[in-house]
Chain A
Amino acid sequence: MADYVLEVKNVDKVYGRGETEVYALRNLSFSVKRGEFMLIVGSSGSGKSTLLNMIGLLDRPTQGKVIIDGVDTSALNDNQLSSFRNSKLGFIFQSSNLLSDLTVLENVTLPRKIQGTTQNAAEESRILLKTVGLESQMNKFANQISGGQAQRVAITRSLINKPTIVLADEPTGNLDSLSAETTVHLLKSLNRKLNQTFIIVTHDRPQFGNVDKVVTIKDGRIMQEEMEASLT
């Protein structure tokens, strides 16, 4: 039996009611195996970010289910969703979304503090920051580092709780080409090294090269689902 960490089943997302009703997502179903590196691609307004919000439990589907690590998340209340996000999901946003009033190290350890498991958190954060080459920057405030560095810090923050799935929404969208290339390389190497599932939303498919799976969204529907075999 396949080891699925994510199952999206018949998900609809509808905004508005009656005549103003708009389907952002329509009857989406797919699944992701543990350790896969998957892209969700599509043009602007196709619904890929909405889908990522559903998977990231930041928004609830109007209909359908999102099952993560075997847990049907539609049954969880607000507090349970928060805890679930904290322990099972890591987020990387287009703009790094670090808390500017915290240092780099404090930003990275924040998910652990939220979880309440602060033992060794600082040491583990240092190791991760060293992995991404930012050990020397860890005592700087988040607004004192460059955009590329901030994105690497955000990647580190997303990994500190060893999540089941790392979700990234246009992680290279705000970066120059060199920083973008570095970020993509980092994400892929971490995927291989940590065997964690990465789901990346991007409109720049070629930038990521070979990946395990690509889901193409258009007008809220899956237009194409390509597997590793067809991608290599």
Chain B
Amino acid sequence: MDYRAQIGIRFITRRKGSLIAASLAVAIAILVVQVNSVIFQGLYDAIVRDQINYRFGHVYITRQEDFITKSDFMLVNWLQRIPYVQAAAPRVDTTASVNATVNGQLIRDYSVPVIGVDPVLDKEASTMSQTVGDGQYVSFRNSAVLGAIVDRDLGYPKVGDTIKLKFKDQHGNDILRRLTIVGITSTAGSVGLDNSVIMNIDTLRDILDRPHETQSILVRLNDPSKDKDVKDLFLSAFPSNADKFKVQTIEESAETTLRGFRSGIALINLVGYFGMMSSAFAVVTIQMMQVTSKTRDIGVMRAIGSKRKDILLVFIFQGMVIGAIGAGLGTVMGVTYTAYAKETHMTFQGSLPLEVKYNWTSIAQTDIMAFALAVIASIYPAYKATRLEPVEAMRVG
């Protein structure tokens, strides 16, 4: 082994207090970044997951400023011939005023989003049906599933009760329709359709006087990485200048929801990186203490022939030891935390399950950054060590 590496390693490993303190500073910085990543990236991914599952699918097809007039049957069949497509389902969105009568009493009158779904196709393209805790998913034409929030606001009507909704059709006429509650949804964190009423798409089309029209088609892929391919395929088959389709990947369709969150993640990551900078300052301080405590040894080494660059390398090697041990420890702590979060199905505010992943690329990047910072933080103390004159240095101690 190179003698400078040997001395650097001995200097730091025989000062266990300094080694532990410096390595812990590096490790904790990595842990902070990892915890941030698990929580906030997990939360971001959970939101993306739920947006895919409940609202947009992996690819979301609408028509610019209007309803889709092409047959949804034809479009869904066309999409399902693409090998990457697992399922596709049409939806129609509108709003309605609710006059709910529960046990003969008028409970409330307010506006709620209403989503029309295909009872069969929607179960394949979305996991919305799995959020029905009480009852069943939309089936027959005049059935409705209440979101948990709507149900709460209406005073907890039960499955079997009816609600009366007031719609406006496309001509502006009021249409009253009584629907039977067949199920009540409840999603973790209420990120699903808990503030909506879900009903049969054909019933809603009739009410709106939009027979065979569709507002959106959500497409679920068996390979989410092919979302752009599916988008391109669709737009090449149905050019936007003719059909005026608007096709968005999940990143595009959920952009409004995700934009603010991404800024938040960037801010939180910044906090993590500030933590890393703090650890670098801790390494500088500890390395300066090392230089001070080893001043006499530095003088002796210089006297017996070590060059300034050799002294520099001794302390750079020390920084490498601190960086390597700190990165290793930080990785173990970070991965342990990630495993804990994954195994315990960690949730955000007790409801939204985080999408916890082992992001090895991110872990490796953080480790490399922490290691590099520990080495960079050692440069100044190492440089100070090289400036010591042998005679002066040997007088110390």
Contacts and interface: CB of A to CB of B under 8 A. Distances in A.
Contact of B301 (A78, A87, A99, A100): A99
A102 B11 CA distance: 9
B297 A99 contact: yes
B7 A101 contact: yes
Interface stretch (A106-114, A128-136, A217-225): A106-114
B244 interface: no
A102 B10 contact: yes
B300 A85 contact: no
Interface in B157-198: none
Given A78-B308, A110-B3, A91 B303 contact: yes
B303 A85 contact: yes
Interface string A83-124: 101110001010001111110001000110111000000000
B10 A82 contact: no
B212 to A, nearest CB: 84
A65 interface: no
Contacts of B310: 114
A98 B7 CA distance: 13
A157 interface: yes
Contacts of A101: 7, 10-11, 14, 297
A82 B391 CA distance: 13
Contacts of A59: 389, 391
B393 to A, nearest CB: 10
B352 interface: no
A102 to B, nearest CB: 6
Contact of A91 (B7, B14, B304): B304
Contacts of B389: 58-59
Contact of A93 (B306, B307, B308, B394): B394
B220 interface: no
A191 interface: no
B58 interface: no
A82 B7 contact: no
A111 B300 contact: no
A111 B304 contact: yes
Interface string B298-314: 01111111111010000
B314 to A, nearest CB: 11
Interface string B1-34: 0010011001100100000000000000000000
B304 A110 contact: yes
A177 B394 CA distance: 25
B329 to A, nearest CB: 23
B304 A79 contact: no
The residue among A87, A91, A101, A114 with the most chain B CB atoms within 10 A of its own CB is: A101
A59 B302 CA distance: 12
A172 B299 CA distance: 20
Contacts of A97: 296, 299-300, 303, 394
Contacts of A78: 307-308
Q: Is the interface of A mostly helix, strand, loop or mixed?
A: helix
Contacts of A102: 7, 10
Given A93-B394, A101-B11, A82 B300 contact: no
A53 interface: yes
A85 B300 CA distance: 12
Q: Is the interface of B mostly helix, strand, loop or mixed?
A: helix
B390 interface: yes
B395 to A, nearest CB: 10
A35 interface: no
Interface string A14-42: 00000000000000000000000000000
B305 A58 contact: no
A82 B394 contact: no
A56 interface: yes
Interface in A42-68: 53, 56, 58-59
Given A58-B390, A59-B391, A97-B394, A86 B10 contact: no
Nearest to B300: A97
Contact of B305 (A53, A100, A114): A114
Nearest to A102: B10
A47 to B, nearest CB: 14
Contacts of B10: 101-102
Interface string A139-162: 000000000000000000100000
Given A99-B297, A106-B6, A114-B3, 7 more contacts: A53-B391, A86-B306, A91-B304, A93-B394, A97-B300, A97-B394, A115-B305
25 contacts: A58-B303, A58-B389, A78-B308, A79-B308, A82-B305, A82-B306, A82-B307, A85-B303, A85-B304, A86-B304, A87-B305, A91-B303, A93-B300, A97-B303, A98-B300, A99-B297, A99-B300, A99-B301, A101-B14, A110-B301, A113-B3, A114-B3, A114-B301, A114-B305, A157-B304
4 closest A-B pairs by beta carbon, nearest first, are A86-B305, A113-B3, A101-B10, A114-B305
